[in-house]
Amino acid sequence: MAIVRSMHHRAPSHRSAAYWNLTGHEPPKLDGNWPATRKDWPCLGSMVGRARAPEAGSMPGAVCLPYTMADGGRANGQDGGFMGLADDPVVLRPASGTPYDGVSPTAGAVDLALPDGLSKQRLVSRRGLLRDLEGGAADGGAVKFREMGLNMLLDPAVRRAFDLESEPPALRDRYGRHICGQSVLLARKLSEAGVPLVTVYCAAGDLNGSKGAHWDTHANNFNRLKGQMLPPLDRASGALLDDLAGRGLLEQTLVVWLTEFGRTPKINGNRGRDHFPDCYTVALAGGGIAGGQLYGRSDAIGAKPAELGASPADLHATVFHALGIDPDFTVYDRENRPYPACDGQALPLFG
CA distance 272 to 259: 17
Domain that includes residue 173, residue range: 2-110+162-340
- Which pLDDT band holds residue 58 (cuts at 50, 70, 90)? confident
Task: Look at residue 269 and tell me if it is in a domain.
Answer: yes
CA distance 152 to 155: 6
CA distance 2 to 117: 53
CB 78 within 8 A of CB 64: yes
Task: Look at residue 27 and tell me if it is in a domain.
Answer: yes
Model confidence, pTM? 0.93
- Which pLDDT band holds residue 150 (cuts at 50, 70, 90)? confident
Task: Look at residue 148 and tell me if it is in a domain.
Answer: no
- Which pLDDT band holds residue 136 (cuts at 50, 70, 90)? low
Residue 218: pLDDT over 90: yes
CA distance 4 to 20: 17
- Which pLDDT band holds residue 127 (cuts at 50, 70, 90)? confident
CATH of the domain at 169: 3.40.720
- Which pLDDT band holds residue 32 (cuts at 50, 70, 90)? confident
**Which pLDDT does position 143 carry in this prediction?**
79
Task: Look at residue 251 and tell me if it is in a domain.
Answer: yes
Task: Look at residue 59 and tell me if it is in a domain.
Answer: yes
Task: Look at residue 152 and tell me if it is in a domain.
Answer: no
Task: Look at residue 176 and tell me if it is in a domain.
Answer: yes
- Which pLDDT band holds residue 41 (cuts at 50, 70, 90)? very high
- Which pLDDT band holds residue 274 (cuts at 50, 70, 90)? very high
Please provide residue 178's backbone torsions phi and psi, each rounded to the nearest 5 degrees: -120, 170
What's the number of domains the chain is made of? 1
Least confident of 34-43, 153-162, 217-226, 251-260: 153-162
- Which pLDDT band holds residue 103 (cuts at 50, 70, 90)? confident
Task: Look at residue 296 and tell me if it is in a domain.
Answer: yes
